[in-house]
DNA sequence: CCCGAATAGTCAGGGCACTGATTATTTCGT
DNA sequence: ACGAAATAATCAGTGCCCTGACTATTCGGG
């Protein structure tokens, strides 16, 4: 008789929130392209020619996951992967025409979905919602890389 | 040049939030028992003898996922599974002594972790954080089962 | 110049999450 | 009472997510 109320646990809420989002994405945006895949496309629209590691950094995916996502996008013909002639360890990534077209299409649908998703909140609450989540996520991520005491710029 | 700012996309934020939570759970609570597994233990502390489907309903896991989670907990000896003599389709679930002990131990650690996780927010913001997420998640989940217009009780 | 440290990517393995198909059992309607 | 619909659970298949071990390439100091 010592059960806790999970609805006060942020982790549990985070999981439920993501499930809810997954559901909405699937019905309103795409059944083929997932939200993480869209994030990768978006990163490459902003900065064509990034390598895998940096893409992962931009969208918050670790090296293993980003490799899988990129391989799927490559199989679908949405991006190209070529060795960096300057540094043989890297692959440089670039969207294909089809990839850019897909990104444009999904951008519109994603905006609509976000409105529905955040529909239960008024404008002020929506801003707060994003701000609070961002602060919590950033702080927890900060615990990962203790950020060396002094000097950071090369 | 039509990239969007993902930091304003609730779905992206939800994913990052969950990753942050995963990280903290792993370091502060347990490397063996995951957060969804704890949720199942917790549901069975509150209501011993539930069947799989109902456990899934309580903690927000679909039938397939709950089956996997329960099988892992069973392998670890944290719960027992017996056929319902009243209804041969069901399995009734009950924690073992070890399962109850594990739940008690993790409950303490989870509370500590939640404090760290929500640390960046003041008390008022923490309440708001939970409230906003719950409202968004509940609303999106409501879209799933349109809740038939009239009559519900058998 | 050459060896060792750092870095980019891959791979194996475990876990969560969903869908759609299948099986076993119960329940309801005629 | 019997067959059809509903329900509980399983299974196959896909995708995300992490860790730890491994490979290949580059870079830096002696």
Taking the domains of chain A in order of start, what are their residue ranges?
30-141
Weakest mean pLDDT among A23-27, A83-87, B21-25? A83-87
- Choose from A2, A5, A10 for mutation: most chain B CBs within 10 A: A10
Q: Which residue has the higher pLDDT, B117 or B88?
A: B117
- In 3D space, the residue among A57, A41, A40, A17 whose CA is nearest the CA of residue B133 turns out to be A17
Q: What is the mean pLDDT of chain B?
A: 90
B86: pLDDT confidence band, cut at 50, 70 and 90? confident
Mean pLDDT, range A119-124, rounded to an integer: 93
pLDDT of residue A111 exceeding 80, the answer is: yes
| Chain D bases closer than 7 angstroms to a protein Cβ | 7-13, 15-20, 24-27
Mean pLDDT of A75-98: 92
Which of B95, B135, B119 shows the shortest CA–CA distance to A142?
B119
Q: Which CB contacts under 8 angstroms, 24+ apart, belong to B140-148?
A: B140/A20, B140/A21, B140/A23, B140/A24, B140/A117, B141/A16, B141/A19, B141/A20, B141/A23, B143/A23, B143/A24, B144/A23
Mean pLDDT of B123-145: 89
Give the start-end residues of each E strand in chain B. 79-83, 91-95
Q: Is the pTM of this model over 0.95?
A: no
| Class of the domain covering A30-141 | mainly alpha
**Confidence grade of residue B11 (pLDDT, cut at 50, 70, 90):** very high
Q: Please count the residues of chain B.
A: 154
Does residue A148 surpass a pLDDT of 90? no
Question: What kind of architecture, by CATH, is found in domain B23-143?
Answer: Orthogonal Bundle (1.10)
Between CA B65 and C1' C20 the distance (Å) reads 15
Q: Predicted confidence band at A27 (pLDDT cuts at 50, 70, 90)?
A: very high
The number of beta carbons lying within 10 Å of the beta carbon of residue A122 is 10
| Residue A57 predicted with pLDDT over 60 | yes
Window 115-144 of B, Cβ < 8 Å to A: 117-121, 125, 128-130, 132-141, 143-144
Number of H helices, E strands in chain A: 6, 2
Give the pLDDT score at B6: 94
């Amino acid at each position: 008789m010592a059960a806790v109320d999970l609805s006060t646990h942020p982790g549990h809420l985070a999981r439920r929130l993501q499930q809810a989002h997954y559901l909405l994405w699937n019905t309103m945006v795409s059944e083929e392209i997932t939200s993480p895949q869209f994030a990768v496309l978006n990163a490459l629209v902003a900065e064509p020619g990034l390598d895998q590691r940096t893409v992962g950094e931009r969208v918050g995916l670790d090296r293993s996951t980003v490799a899988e996502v990129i391989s799927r996008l490559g199989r679908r013909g949405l991006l190209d992967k070529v060795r960096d002639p300057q540094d043989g360890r890297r692959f440089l990534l670039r969207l294909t025409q089809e990839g850019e077209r897909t990104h444009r299409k999904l951008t519109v649908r994603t905006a609509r979905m976000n409105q529905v998703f955040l529909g239960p909140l008024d404008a002020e609450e929506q801003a707060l919602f994003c701000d609070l989540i961002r602060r919590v996520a950033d702080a927890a991520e900060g615990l990962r890389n203790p950020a060396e005491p002094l000097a950071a710029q090369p």
